Structure 1
Amino acid sequence: MAANATTLTEKMRAALRISSTSKKITEEINDCIAACKADLANDGVNRIDEKDGLIIRAVTLYCKAEFGYNNNAEKFRNSYDTLKMRLSMSQEYNTPIVSETDTVGGESGG
């Protein structure tokens, strides 16, 4: 990994103030990230870009709530839920992603 390239896992490790790079802790962080992405998608957030500041913030809040960071799990969960709601209502984040190869067509009556 290049010196300036930071993965979402490493960002969460820093946000949670976890210096250990053990495989088990890394797996737990990655599981938490995956759970957050699934939760966002489940509530209608279609654009989950790991480089997007609001998505990074949502994942950070989610992980801090799950890890019970500074004994403020409820505070972080409430902040996450508020951000998730705003993302799910934002056209920028809730519009389905359509690739150039997708075809747009209506149902045929018949």
Structure 2
Amino acid sequence: MAADTTLTEKMRAALRISSTSAKITEEIEDCIEACKADLKNDGVKRVDENDALIIRAITLYCKAEFGYQNNAEKFRNSYDTLKMRLSMSQEYNTVPDMSETDTTGGESGAENG
């Protein structure tokens, strides 16, 4: 599925790309989807396209992939650092809609005596 149009337009602006050609739009959307897959692959389970840190990660990823201002390595390092922090953050590395009644972990609060 293609990336959200709003996110695509945010990346177009971040990359300073004025062209709206279908090929460039497709490349931007592919880059967004690749970033989301990369984040999920490294343990970021909450990839909300409206979250400021996720948008920042996608922006850094796209700038690295497009070689924005010949600073691809700088943007890749910034992306990797943010991705690591997101993957270590409980807010981003846990499934958001987990049921609180799930007792498969066996934690009931009772002590064995």
1:34-93 per-residue CA deviation (whole Å, 9 max, x = no partner) reads: 000000000010111111100000000000000000000000000000000000000000
Structure 1 alignment gaps of length 5 or more: 1-5
Amino acid corresponding to residue 82 of structure 1 in structure 2 = T
**AA aligned opposite 1:38:** A
Give the aligned partner of residue 51 of structure 2: 52
The equivalent of 1:25 in structure 2 is 24
2:75 matched residue in structure 1: 76
Q: 1:41, 1:60 → 2: CA distance?
A: 16
Matched residue, 2:109: none
3-state DSSP of counterpart to 1:7: helix
Give the aligned partner of residue 98 of structure 1.
97
How many percent of aligned residue pairs carry the same amino acid?
Answer: 81
Tell me the number of residue pairs that the alignment of Structure 1 and Structure 2 aligns: 101
Higher-Rg structure is 2
For normalisation by structure 2, the TM-score amounts to 0.83
Q: TM-score, normalised by structure 1?
A: 0.85
Question: What is the RMSD of the two structures over their aligned residues, measured on CA atoms?
Answer: 1.8
